[in-house]
Amino acid sequence: MSQTPSRPVVYLHIGTPKSGTTYLQGILWHNRQALREEGLQYTGREHGAHLRASFDLQERDVQDGWRDPAIAGAWKQAVEEAREWPRRTLISHETFALAEPEHADRALADLDFAEVHLIITMRDLARQIPAAWQEEVKNRNPVTYQTYLSRLREDPAPDRPRHPFWVFQDVPGILERWARDVPPERVHIVTVPPPGSPPTVVWERFSRVLGIDPARYDTTRTFGNPSLGMAQAQLLRKFNELLLARPEEERPSWPDYLRIFKDVYAQQILVELPGDRRITLPKDCHDWVVERAETMISELRDGGYDIVGDLEDLRPALPADPAPAAAPVGDDALLETALRSVEALIRRMEREREQARRRLERAREEARAEADGLRARIAELEEVLGKPAVKLFVRRLSEQYPPVMRARVAYWHAVESGRRVWGGPNRPRRRDERPGDRS
């Protein structure tokens, strides 16, 4: 990768969702110090900084009108970090794909001190469409798979917004917004290999764009974004219907939904349930998906972009034995999935209760050890201070020096507090103390 010595390089990874972005961002985050040593800065003080930078650039709410207060200034912070780093910088989040032309223009203007490269990771539509639907469901959308597919198939009229899936996944359309002033050789299309390929292949291709050695980095510590099966996704979709039927003031906030329903219930409980049917593209969608994919492949080939991988990877990987159409899951299957999820939740609660009991017991043991040490220290002080000569000396010293008086008062307060905590006169005796010695 050539680099102008007098100018830093900034890589903007702008999409697409469900194309290995979570996997790549996990590797980048956990290896950020090692990357800096190789001359590549991955911006942000915490992992969510890239999402917030994207939303700040686009003046966008996170969900349903809820706006993370940490969004304000996040894009400016990323730009300043890039400006201060003299070599290569990477900013990566798939939501940059949503940017309108004016947002992309602002981003490129803010980065005019650097040589800007755009990176897009892409996966074939036959895998993207089912993955995108279940991600919508994980984010509180109650739409059925059948309705979702029907809306994707419709070719939107010029005077209405396009379906969000195509805003995210129509890469030629994304590049119309982002790459108008970026030379095509600085636009890098990284293709995700076909099903069955090692997961590290996409990391190796991505690394090639960045000019780093992929073998130098730990690829085992990544962020998970596991896939749901059909019954699991349908069950979560039913929950979404019930939640959205409530009055708005009774619905969980977006942060609460994210924490409880997505992060815990969907991605820790449901995905662990065995035996669910994988979500695939039904047969009645194959023809139009293949046609759409061919159009995108042709446009990308004609664009003169840097293709890292193979455009053939983008031909739909159609399932060998597809369902004829997107049919809803039967009630029996939904009930079984619901019961299994309840069982898994109960097991999780039992584990967490046992963990809490162990933490409490450890805290009690530490408190008892600390209390025993404090008792022993007070007993030693009492033994010393209880001697007549020492008592007289301390009393006279406290009459002359106010700080000594304050220390003396504080000491007796501590002693009396300790006696109350340990049962008043039933405090432990010193080793040389007889029962009748206490006053």
Give, in order, the Cα–Cα distances in Å from 409 to each of 114, 196, 224, 405.
67, 76, 58, 6
Q: Residue 16, preceding bond cis, omega within 30 degrees?
A: yes
Q: Where does the pLDDT of residue 392 fall: very low under 50, low under 70, confident under 90, or very high at 90 and above? A: confident
Output the pLDDT for position 382.
67
Output the pLDDT for position 100.
95
User: pLDDT tens digits for 154-187?
Assistant: 865 444 447 889 999 999 999 999 999 999 999 9
The residues, ordered by sequence, that sit 6+ positions from 321 with a Cβ below 8 Å of its Cβ are none
330 vs 193, higher pLDDT: 193
- Kindly report the average pLDDT of the chain as a whole number: 87
The helix (H) or strand (E) run that includes residue 36 is helix 32-37
CA-to-CA distance for 254 and 65, rounded, in angstroms? 9
Concatenated DSSP letters of 43-64: --SSTTHHHHHHHHHHT--SBT
Output the pLDDT for position 4.
45
Q: Is the pLDDT of residue 3 over 60?
A: no
CA-to-CA distance for 250 and 245, rounded, in angstroms? 10
Q: Where does the pLDDT of residue 127 fall: very low under 50, low under 70, confident under 90, or very high at 90 and above? A: very high
Output the pLDDT for position 221.
80
CA-to-CA distance for 85 and 180, rounded, in angstroms? 26
Output the pLDDT for position 383.
72
Q: Where does the pLDDT of residue 435 fall: very low under 50, low under 70, confident under 90, or very high at 90 and above? A: very low
Lowest-confidence region among 113-127, 223-237, 325-339, 421-435:
421-435
Q: Which two tokens stand for residue 46?
A: 């915490």
Per DSSP, the three-state class of 5 is: coil
User: pLDDT tens digits for 350-378?
Assistant: 999 999 999 999 999 999 998 888 888 77
Output the pLDDT for position 301.
96
69 vs 304, higher pLDDT: 304
Q: Which of 203, 246, 286, 158 is nearest to 13 (CA)?
A: 203
Neighbours of 280 (CB within 10 A): 20
Q: What is the percent of the chain with per-residue pLDDT over 70, rounded to a whole number?
A: 88
Concatenated DSSP letters of 130-167: HHHHHHHHHTT----HHHHHHHHHS---TTSPPPHHHH
Output the pLDDT for position 65.
67
Give, in order, the Cα–Cα distances in Å from 270 to each of 62, 273, 274.
24, 5, 9
Q: What angle do CA 343, 348, 353 make, to 5 degrees?
A: 125
Output the pLDDT for position 386.
66
Output the pLDDT for position 380.
75
188 vs 66, higher pLDDT: 188
Q: What is the mean pLDDT of residues 283-290?
A: 94
391 vs 54, higher pLDDT: 54
Q: Where does the pLDDT of residue 398 fall: very low under 50, low under 70, confident under 90, or very high at 90 and above? A: confident
Q: Helix, strand, coil % (nearest 5) of the chain?
A: 60, 10, 30
Specify the length of the chain in residues. Answer: 439
Output the pLDDT for position 64.
64
Q: Is the pLDDT of residue 57 over 70?
A: yes
Q: What is the percent of the chain with per-residue pLDDT over 90, rounded to a whole number?
A: 65
Q: Which two tokens stand for residue 221?
A: 């510590």
Q: Where does the pLDDT of residue 393 fall: very low under 50, low under 70, confident under 90, or very high at 90 and above? A: confident
Output the pLDDT for position 300.
97
Output the pLDDT for position 155.
60
The helix (H) or strand (E) run that includes residue 295 is helix 286-302
User: pLDDT tens digits for 201-251?
Assistant: 999 999 999 999 999 999 988 776 778 999 999 999 999 999 999 998 899
Write down the pTM of the prediction.
Answer: 0.78
How many alpha carbons fall within 13 Å on the CB side of residue 5? 0
The helix (H) or strand (E) run that includes residue 242 is helix 230-245
The residues, ordered by sequence, that sit 6+ positions from 303 with a Cβ below 8 Å of its Cβ are 172, 175, 184, 187
The helix (H) or strand (E) run that includes residue 11 is strand 9-13
Output the pLDDT for position 425.
47
Q: Where does the pLDDT of residue 426 fall: very low under 50, low under 70, confident under 90, or very high at 90 and above? A: very low
The answer to whether 132 and 169 are in contact (CB under 8 A) is yes
Q: Where does the pLDDT of residue 322 fall: very low under 50, low under 70, confident under 90, or very high at 90 and above? A: confident
User: pLDDT tens digits for 257-281?
Assistant: 989 999 999 989 998 888 778 899 9
Output the pLDDT for position 63.
64
Q: Where does the pLDDT of residue 17 fall: very low under 50, low under 70, confident under 90, or very high at 90 and above? A: very high
Start-end of H helices in 311-424: 331-385, 388-400, 402-421
The residues, ordered by sequence, that sit 6+ positions from 188 with a Cβ below 8 Å of its Cβ are 117, 118, 119, 120, 209, 305, 306, 308
Lowest-confidence region among 19-23, 300-304, 309-313, 401-405:
401-405
Q: Which two tokens stand for residue 356?
A: 């809490």
